[in-house]
Amino acid sequence: MRFWIALAPLMILAGCGGGGAANNGSATGGAPVANVPPPAGQQWTDVVVATKDGFRMGNPNAPIKLVEYGSRTCPVCGQFGREGTKPLEALVKTGKLSWEFREFFVHGQPDFAPALLGRCGGPGPFFGLLEQMYVEQAPFEEKMSSPEGQAIFQRMQGQQPIEAAKAWDGLMGYTEFVKQRGIPEDKARACLSDQAAFDHMLQVMTDAQNNKGVSGTPTFFINDRIVEGVSSWSGLEPALKAAGA
């Protein structure tokens, strides 16, 4: 119960497509940055690691560092993912840009299962699963807003988040989704019960909301500066170019 008392104000403030609210400045212009060769036999898109807050793709020393706070159930994030993933990967391949994704539970309960399962395979499949969840987002959205989804939401009020994650997974089918993409079912079930992973993601979200001005998804930072009012690839691309990408 203590968890829900702590989380409720976050859910009230958060919104899909809300972007950042803090006046922390925008990404400023800079001279074009030179390409950086990847390690022998690799592309920079192959270099994916877990960070203290999420997962990062690309050159760890890239001069342009993009951080995205996103929700796998957010339609605006889904639109960005479908439009922006490929061009972002093209920029990552230059070695000039790294891209880090951090989970943000903008819809509360329905976000828990896909976030836990999206990280279940570790760094290697992380960004591929993220993109595929966005490509296949429509049927998940339909289930989330269905009468069955509303019933689960009401039934899970006050329950532990891991139990809510399992209940929503039963409706949404994310375990089967990741199983079809190479995550063994027993591993997926274990990830869906990973309280420590959930607590960590919640801590990252709480810090973003309380200390970084993140109030919705997607929210972007370039070199630790929030990109105000941008939630689409058409809005983010000029900001990245202005930073030298």
CATH of the domain at 141: 3.40.30.10
Domain region containing 184 = 2-8+15-22+54-242
- Express each pLDDT in 4-62 by its tens digit: 333 444 443 446 875 544 334 444 556 788 999 999 999 999 999 999 999 999 999 99
**Domains in the chain, number:** 1
pLDDT of residue 71: 98
Q: Give per-residue pLDDT as tens, 52-99.
A: 999 999 999 999 999 999 999 999 999 999 999 999 999 999 999 999
Is residue 62 assigned to a domain? yes
- Inform me whether the pLDDT recorded for 124 exceeds 70: yes
Q: Angle at Cα 83 formed by Cα 81 and Cα 88, nearest 5°?
A: 75
pLDDT of residue 4: 37
- 139 belongs to a structural domain: yes
Q: Residue 211: which region, alpha, beta or left (left: phi > 0; alpha: psi -120 to 50)?
A: alpha
Answer whether residue 48 is part of any domain: no
pLDDT averaged over the chain? 91
Within a domain: residue 204? yes
- Confidence label for 2 from pLDDT (cuts 50, 70 and 90): very low
Residue at token pair 């994916």: 48
CA nearest neighbour of 127 among 185, 172, 96, 84: 84
pLDDT of residue 18: 57
Burial 17-37 (b: 16+ CB within 10 A, else e): bbbbbeeeebbeeeeebeeee
pLDDT over 90, % of the chain: 87
HSE-CB for 41 with a 13 A CA cutoff: 0
pLDDT of the residue at 25: 41
Q: Is 105:202 a contact under the CB 8 Å cutoff? A: yes
Q: In the prediction, which pLDDT does 7 show?
A: 46
Over residues 206-217, mean pLDDT: 97
Residue 76 covered by a domain: yes
Q: Name the residue among 73, 209, 92, 46 with its Cα closest to residue 130.
A: 73
Pairing of the two strands 216-217 and 219-222 = unpaired
Structural domain includes residue 200: yes
Q: How far apart are CA 100 and CA 120, in angstroms?
A: 17
Q: Is residue 46 assigned to a domain?
A: no
pLDDT digits (tens, 9 = 90+) for 134-158: 999 999 999 999 999 999 999 999 9
* pLDDT of amino acid 31: 75
42 occurs within a structural domain: no
Return the beta strands (E) in 22-160 as ranges.
48-50, 55-57, 64-70, 97-103
